[in-house]
Amino acid sequence: MRKNLVQSAAFLLLCSLIAAVALGRASANARPEPAPLPLRPNVVVIQTDDQDLASLRAKFRDPFDRVRRAMPKTLDLIGAKGVEFTRYYVSQPICSPSRTALLSGQYAKTSGLKRNSGPEGGWEGWQNLPVLEENLAVALDRIGYRTSHIGKFTNNYHGATTETVDTTVPPGWDQWYVPAYGNTLYYYGTMLNVNGQPAGPFGSNGYDLNGAGTDPPECTAANLNDPVPGVVCNHSTDLFSRAAVEQIEMAGDEPLYLQVDYNTPHGDHRPPIGPQPLSRHYDSALTSRMPRPPGFNETDVSDKPSFIRDAPPMSRQEIENLDTRWRKDVESLRGVDDGVGAIIEALRRSGKLANTYVFFLSDNGQFSGQHRLSIAKFLPYEPAARLPLLVRGPGIKPGSKTSELVSNIDIAPTILGLTGARLPGGFDGRSIRPFWKDTSRRTRRPLLLESYIGPNDAPADGLTSGAGASASAPPRNYFAIRAGRYKYVEYTNGERELYDLKSDPAELANRIAVPAWRPVATVLGRELDRLKGCRGATCRAATVRLPGPPVVEQANRKAGRR
């Protein structure tokens, strides 16, 4: 009996060994299972219109005398969950060129899109230039991204007349929900191109500034994620926010590129009212007054260019108008903040948030009385050119900050690097990813600031101003370099400016005529000449080591003198 058991056990062991050998052979001959492809990240870009840096952290006193933040969701859900680039600049502080730089990764001098209108500007320029066929959306669409554009695209995007809708959908966009007629900057009565079909008007642009013809109280922030049946909300900010939520919900498993372009807080051409806030936020900042930034109604402008020296101090009425506009800016940005909250919530509910990069930025800023300038942009000063940039996403340390100099020409290269897409025509910018991976990292890559809109350098086609009068500003042509602690500006009429932004962030003391600063100006002038002719990698080349401030300047600073 025992012998039989031993024989049986030996037989079973032999069978097991034979089976193991056979299984090993089968495994060796079998094709290995392919490793799952890594999920390509989603990307959401949220862009405002004419939002300066200060307004991101604006505070106001509400009707109940409580001090509140204008954009708490933006700061808490993107800023505190990601990285803030504290020295982010747009290369040309004007709508269409700035937006084109974001999508192309190129300076205006490279892309050719230099103005808001005419053959080199706005929608006409887009149709005439290579950027139409080669931009970030086209590159992402090529590799299988679901590309969605919601909100403002570019200036003068309308049909044969300003009263008709342009039904063209530019290459690269799978989903298109864009204002496409005449003046798109009214907040009600919007006409849209929805995937090649006209839609609207949504409400009436004859709305009363005090509330008649505006949205009902049921149009709350909660309505963006959970619409109430039968409640119609026509304000463009809510239209765009709700459309963004729908695109996120519809995307399924496709990788998503979603760009949401609010026209807030751009004024609606009814000075001094500024933008029309959503009904739920209207007059919520009524008792507040705009903070007076450094250089407000600047007293001594003797060192400034002639166009500022010739301007009188702002009148009491101009200052009152600025206060009114600031209140409306704050109230309207509260609506954008609701949209940011709804977009983040939609990403969370759809399971996409953990694999999504969210960028929050603005196309250009505006002046609020600095250097005697009101309701203006275009110029190379900080309020117009230095803007918010917040990014959250995989691998970004929450609550981090970096002061590396970055620009809107860097956004497309960054997203290309994150997604694996390519632009054969190249770009002038670079990825900013290394600077959120290591926030202490610094380089000497300079930035070019440029302008082509003024009458003092008319283009060859005879246009004297292609800016499009979206703000009352003195159009001036210039090239400027932002490098290290300095900003150096050359206007085409021969005037120049030099600022040490480390010691003089409000740009109150132009050093260009101070003999001790001549070596700094000389070096920056040479570097600017190089940038004027740069393209691609040469735009990313580092400057020479820049000289420090003059010794006499450092001594004056220690003594507390200007």
Which are the contacts of 151, defined by CB distance < 8 A and separation ≥ 6? 47, 177, 178, 179, 236, 240, 259, 260, 261, 262, 263
**pLDDT of 290:** 96
Question: Percent of the chain scored above 70 by pLDDT?
Answer: 86
Structural domain range at position 530: 447-558
Q: Is residue 121 part of a domain?
A: yes
**pLDDT per residue as tens digits for the range 84-106:** 999 999 999 999 999 999 999 99
Q: What is the mean pLDDT of residues 113-138?
A: 95
164 confidence band (pLDDT: 50, 70, 90)? confident
- Give the whole-angstrom CA distance, residue 359 versus residue 493: 37
Domain count, the chain: 2
> Where among 402, 437, 472 does a domain terminate?
437
Per-chain mean pLDDT for the chain: 88
Q: Which structure tokens are listed for 358? A: 């969210």
Same domain for 352 and 495? no
Q: Answer whether 337's CB lies under 8 Å from 70's CB.
A: yes
Please tell me the distance from the alpha carbon of residue 165 to that of residue 444, in angstroms, as a whole number: 46
User: Both 255 and 179 in a single domain?
Assistant: yes
Residue 163 confidence (pLDDT): 80
* pLDDT at res. 313: 93
The answer to whether residue 31 is domain-embedded is no
What average pLDDT does the segment 401-427 reach?
A: 97
Tokens for 287, please give them: 């008792």
Element of type H or E holding 44: strand 42-48
- Rounded to an integer, the average pLDDT of 398-420 is 98
| Comparison of pLDDT for 448 and 465, the residue scoring more | 448
Q: Which range has the worst mean pLDDT, 94-98, 156-160, 290-294, 520-524?
A: 156-160
Do residues 134 and 154 both lie within one domain? yes
Q: What is the pLDDT of residues 10-59, one digit of tens each?
A: 333 333 433 343 334 333 344 444 444 468 999 999 999 999 999 999 99
**Could you tell me if 167 and 91 lie in one domain?**
yes
Q: Is the pLDDT of residue 471 over 80?
A: no
Instruction: Give 314-361 pLDDT, tens digit per residue.
Output: 999 999 999 999 999 999 999 999 999 999 999 999 999 999 999 999
- Pick 562 or 364 by higher pLDDT: 364
Q: Do 432 and 455 have their domain in common? A: no
* Residue at 21 is within a domain: no
Instruction: Give residue 463's pLDDT.
Output: 32
Q: Which of 10-19, 231-240, 465-474 has the lowest mean pLDDT?
A: 10-19
Last residue in a domain, options 437, 460, 488: 437
Least-confidence region, from 3-17, 152-166, 492-506: 3-17
List, in sequence order, every residue forming a beta bridge with 400; answer none if it has no partner: 83
Q: Which residues contact 409 (CB under 8 A, 6 or more apart)?
A: 91, 101, 102, 104, 105, 106, 107, 427, 428, 429, 539
pLDDT at 34: 46
pLDDT in tens, 258-282: 999 999 999 886 656 789 999 999 9
What number is the average pLDDT over the span 169-197? Answer: 90
Residue 276 is which amino acid?
Q
Q: Same structural domain for residues 143 and 267?
A: yes
What tokens does 504 get? 């003089």
**Mean pLDDT on 412-433:** 97
Reduced to 3 states, what is the DSSP secondary structure of residue 372? Answer: coil
Domain assignment of residue 10, yes or no: no
pLDDT at 557: 54
**Which residues are registered as beta bridge partners of 368?**
374
Is residue 66 in a domain? yes
Domain-located, residue 371: yes
Is residue 375 domain-shared with residue 228, that is, in the same domain? yes
**Residue 464 sits in the same domain as residue 427:** no
Question: Do 366 and 470 fall within a single domain?
Answer: no
Mean pLDDT, range 425-434, rounded to an integer: 97
Give pLDDT tens digits for 180-191.
Answer: 977 657 899 999
> In the chain, pLDDT over 90 holds for what percent of residues?
79
Higher pLDDT, 205 or 234: 234
Q: Is the pLDDT of residue 467 over 70?
A: no
Tell me the three-class secondary structure of 413-470, residue by residue: HHHHHHHCCCCCCCCCCCCCHHHHHCCCCCCCCCEEEEECCCHHHCCCCCCCCCCCCC
**Do residues 53 and 108 both lie within one domain?**
yes
SS3 for 319-357, per residue? HHHHHHHHHHHHHHHHHHHHHHHHHHHHHHHCCCHHHEE
Of the two residues 481 and 274, the one the predictor is more confident about is 481
Q: Give strand pairing partners of 392.
A: 358
CA distance 396 to 81: 8
Residues 149 and 286 in one domain: yes
Q: Could you tell me the pTM of the whole model?
A: 0.90
Tell whether 150 and 168 lie within a shared domain. Answer: yes
Answer yes or no: is pLDDT of 147 > 90: yes
Any domain includes 29: no
Among candidate residues 411, 437, 463, the one where a domain is terminated: 437
Read off the pLDDT of each residue in 72-83 and give the average, rounded to a whole number: 98
Who has greater pLDDT, 13 or 485?
Answer: 485
pLDDT at residue 475 is higher than 90: no
Interatomic CA distance for residues 487 and 214, integer angstroms: 44
Q: How many CB atoms lie within 10 A of CB 481?
A: 25
pLDDT computed for residue 257 by the predictor: 98
Beta bridge partners of 359: 45, 391
pLDDT of 482 strictly over 80: yes
User: What confidence category does residue 556 fall into, taking pLDDT thresholds of 50, 70 and 90?
Assistant: low
What does the pLDDT read at residue 19? 38
Tokens for 263, please give them: 């026209």
Identify the CATH number of the domain in which residue 341 sits: 3.40.720.10
Looking at per-residue pLDDT, the higher value among 1 and 522 belongs to 522
- Does any domain span residue 288? yes
